[in-house]
Structure 1
Amino acid sequence: MSFRKRGEVLGGGPTPQRGPQAPLPVRPGSAPGRGQSPATPATSSITKRVPGAIARQASSSTQESSILDNPAVRPSLITSQPTTSTGSSDLDKILLHQGLPLGHSLLVEESGTTDFASVLLRAFASQGVMHNRIKPNSFNSHVIVLGLSPLWSNDLPGLYKGSSKDQKKAKIAENESKVSVSNIAHGSNVSRNDSKMKIAWRYGLNKKDVVEKESEPGVAYEHYSHQFDITQKLQPGPNPQDITYIPLSRTVKDMVNQLTSVIKSQLKSNPSKVIRLVIPGFLNPSIYPPYNTASTFVFPLAHSLRSLLRQFEQNLVLISSISLDLYPRESSLTTILEILFDSAIHLQPFNQEMSQLIEKAYKNEPSKIQQGLVNIIKLPVLSERGLMMIHDGEFAFKNGRKKFEIEEWGIPVEDDSKENETAEGGKTVKNIDF
């Protein structure tokens, strides 16, 4: 066995002499030694690209955080995407996101000669106006109406203030809170109420009410959705800072340029603003001239609207309505629109026989009378991911005296027991032999 010195080179050659700054020799194909970091073209390009990617990721995360700071936005319950309310809490629920995700669209189809879809579209616009009135000079939202005149906003629904009893209680409480001679004269009653409150606090009688208020869902998003009264008008009405009206043009390019300029100008003042695009009565001959209903105009416009939604995916949402009597679902135009829109629902009013049956079954409870079915054709995000989310005949809508409601559908059962048990004169006609 022989031993060699540490500095001796194998093979008997001379030991290479290295200066203090001479680099260590590296054989071709071998890994670099400790402390060496050769700058190859690949690694240099990676180091140049990584900071940009990190910057883009940081900017996108800050943009999402600023969007979620908007009181009109909350994360989706399913995908956690930024979502805004449609103005109808029932419609928000059946969309499964608790609203419409930003960067997505909804197509409301309606059969028959009714106009229930306009109620949803006006509630959608009113919701955007109310988001601007949360605080003074808080411009959190903007509405764009395509194809109609400013007269359309005259029928926007106002806020629902509760039943008549609730309104009377609110007026009484407001009057009692004011300082007046009558309130001072009734100061003894106030002291008695204070003593009752102290006793209730001592024995924990009102602890249950406090826990229920704290556990109520949606407290963190109290301004996210409002309930509207379709019998009342929005007071005060919207101003130009709330709604912009864009007329129809002969070319798609002109309309898209107008939409883009309005969106960019609104986002300059507030990058986290929610832009609501409303298209009522899409392709209705009473609104759209013949050159705007041709396929060479409609299909490029639908593709351009989809492109705008993807371009401003953190700020823009779209809702449109179309009549199936003018454009049936079997037609190629409606089929392509359902493909290009991210979600679609169908309002199907009941025929005359079903309406008479429902009115007869609920003749003592008129508030339960429903007007038609809500069929879900396509849901945002979920349908694009391949989930079969088609629901026909599972939900029904009713346009009540105060609001537009959507609930689960069940065929009403007519109760004829009282009519069979009694005849004329109040005598029974059934055999009661035992």
Structure 2
Amino acid sequence: MSFRKRNVGLSGSARSEGPAQTNSKDRIQLPGVRPSPVDGRPTTSTGTASLDALLAGHSGLVLGSTILIEESGTTDFAGALLRFYAAEGLLQGHHVHVLALPEQWGRELPGVFGESEKKETTPAETERMKIAWRYESLGQFGAGATTARERPQPTVGQPGPNGGAAQGPPIAFCHTFDLTKRLVHPAGSQMDFIQLEMNPTHSPFASTLERLHASVANSTPDTVHRIVIPSLLSPALYPPWSSQPQNILQFLQSLRALFAAYSNRLTALMSLPLSLYPRSSGLVRWVELLNDGVLELSPFPHSAEGDTTPSRGPSGAVEEPPQGLLQVHRLPMLHDRGSGVGTSETDWTFTLSRRKFTIKPFNLPPVEGDTGAQQAAGQEQKGKKADMEF
């Protein structure tokens, strides 16, 4: 008869003596980076909370990923997202590389929304869902937009909740920016402006790749790099021969090779004008295949005319009218079986205000004069609010 306890594993002592404990202590803490709630991959913020919540449930942009933002028309909503992305990188201590733009662009980045102004929020913005704290970080759309902005992240060398000597105040994972202000670059911030080569006999991106590779290779292991590529192939910034497939496709393929070599330290955000290069062309389809995420912005015609009169929603809160549609063509699923949460919605709306870029699901409002539909929408909103309170 055996007297061994059945609830004690035979290899319990061997498991406790593994090297996992030492590896967790030696792991490098990257600034402005936190693990994904889906699979634990390191993620960083794009500077737009609602965009972070849209990226496959990771609540941020996974390191080693690239996002392509396509925009039709003459507006520049994608340019605002790129500015938020660059400004967030400077505040987090990342090395920002800007392609084909002058240094004046760096002096026009939006400033941080003031702490005194944050207190002047509407009741709809301060009301939060009363759910368990464990579910707030699961990257659900809408919840991530609040938690990603409000939950502070520790700085480099700052201890966790177990104690230790602090080295500075906590830094938020995603800041709120004000387009009417100008960002004061932090001391020691790194921001490079890489110009293209204008020799027709050479690829305009050859020197760009050399500078990017040298900068990443010569930097310290705890340096995160952000690459900003605005208005890709636009004649206002790029020479005519840059749109030749042997130039642009070779550049994107070489960029992916650089991301594969330094997948835990690089992210990129680029925009493409669809008015000049439509999605029906083979070149644009190849450009999309060489990016991990593809989003398309389709502004409404009234957005260019400045028709942004606020309206009131079913709950009585003042809501900015949508300024266009956002279509998700691809999300950064990180391996063959998929690592991320896809969205059930196909169309979204976006609104760019003075303080933030907001992405919401696309819902048609009730027809004017249909009081029954409006009352039903209001009762449904109240019912959802009552169900969430417990």
Paired residue secondary structure (2:119): helix
Partner of 2:45: 85
- TM-superposition CA deviations, 1:252-285 (whole Å, max 9, x none): 43221111112223x23xx111100110111101
Letter in 1 for 2:51: L
When residues 360 and 220 of structure 1 are mapped into structure 2, their CA distance, relative to the original with a 3 A threshold, is closer
- TM-superposition CA deviations, 1:324-358 (whole Å, max 9, x none): 111111111111111110111111112459x9998
Partner of 1:197: none
Q: 1:72 aligns with which of 23, 28, 32?
A: 32
Q: 1:120 aligns with which of 76, 81, 90?
A: 81
Letter in 2 for 1:296: Q
Q: 2:176 aligns with which of 203, 210, 227?
A: 227
Deviation of the 1:108 alpha carbon: 0.5
Deviation of the 1:104 alpha carbon: 0.9
Indicate yes or no: 2:190 matched with 1:242.
yes
Partner of 1:311: 261
List gaps (5 residues or longer) in structure 2: 1-18, 122-131, 137-145, 154-170, 372-390
Cα separation, 2, equivalents of 1:63 and 1:348:
47
Paired residue secondary structure (1:299): helix
Deviation of the 1:113 alpha carbon: 1.1
When residues 296 and 240 of structure 1 are mapped into structure 2, their CA distance, relative to the original with a 3 A threshold, is farther
Partner of 2:271: 321
Alignment map for 1:261-280 (pairs within 5 Å): 261-265=214-218, 267-268=219-220, 271-280=221-230
Q: TM-score, with normalisation over the residues of structure 2?
A: 0.69
Partner of 1:370: 322
Deviation of the 1:368 alpha carbon: 2.1
Task: Give the number of the structure whose alpha-carbon radius of gyration is greater.
Answer: 1
Cα separation, 1, equivalents of 2:117 and 2:368:
31
When residues 378 and 360 of structure 1 are mapped into structure 2, their CA distance, relative to the original with a 3 A threshold, is same
Percentage of pairs with the same residue: 33
Paired residue secondary structure (1:313): coil
Letter in 1 for 2:50: D
Partner of 1:152: 105
Cα separation, 1, equivalents of 2:26 and 2:294:
26
Structure 1 or 2: more helix by fraction: 1
Deviation of the 1:385 alpha carbon: 3.5
Structure with the bigger RCO (C-alpha within 8 Å, sep 6+) is 2
Deviation of the 1:293 alpha carbon: 1.9
- Whether the aligned pair in 1 keeps the contact of 2:308 and 2:321 (CA below 8 Å) is yes
Indicate yes or no: 2:246 matched with 1:296.
yes
Deviation of the 1:320 alpha carbon: 0.3
- Whether the aligned pair in 2 keeps the contact of 1:160 and 1:402 (CA below 8 Å) is yes
Q: How many residues are matched?
A: 303
- TM-superposition CA deviations, 1:78-118 (whole Å, max 9, x none): 12111110000100000021111111100011111111000
- Whether the aligned pair in 2 keeps the contact of 1:153 and 1:238 (CA below 8 Å) is no
Letter in 2 for 1:157: P
When residues 238 and 328 of structure 1 are mapped into structure 2, their CA distance, relative to the original with a 3 A threshold, is farther
- Whether the aligned pair in 1 keeps the contact of 2:226 and 2:267 (CA below 8 Å) is yes
Cα separation, 2, equivalents of 1:320 and 1:398:
20
Alignment map for 1:171-190 (pairs within 5 Å): none
When residues 226 and 276 of structure 1 are mapped into structure 2, their CA distance, relative to the original with a 3 A threshold, is same
- TM-superposition CA deviations, 1:181-218 (whole Å, max 9, x none): xxxxxxxxxxxxxxxxxxxxxxxxxxxxxx99xx9956
- Whether the aligned pair in 2 keeps the contact of 1:359 and 1:366 (CA below 8 Å) is no
Cα separation, 2, equivalents of 1:360 and 1:161:
23
What's the Cα RMSD here? Answer: 3.6
Q: TM-score, with normalisation over the residues of structure 1?
A: 0.62
- Whether the aligned pair in 1 keeps the contact of 2:95 and 2:191 (CA below 8 Å) is yes
Indicate yes or no: 2:70 matched with 1:109.
yes
- Whether the aligned pair in 2 keeps the contact of 1:375 and 1:391 (CA below 8 Å) is no
Cα separation, 1, equivalents of 2:267 and 2:90:
15
Paired residue secondary structure (2:172): coil
Partner of 1:195: none
When residues 350 and 365 of structure 1 are mapped into structure 2, their CA distance, relative to the original with a 3 A threshold, is farther
List gaps (5 residues or longer) in structure 1: 1-56, 133-140, 169-210, 419-434
Indicate yes or no: 2:92 matched with 1:131.
yes
Deviation of the 1:367 alpha carbon: 4.0
Indicate yes or no: 2:363 matched with 1:402.
no
- Whether the aligned pair in 1 keeps the contact of 2:292 and 2:330 (CA below 8 Å) is yes
- TM-superposition CA deviations, 1:341-400 (whole Å, max 9, x none): 0111111112459x9998596699874211011111111125853589476653211011
Deviation of the 1:401 alpha carbon: 2.5
Cα separation, 2, equivalents of 1:384 and 1:331:
26
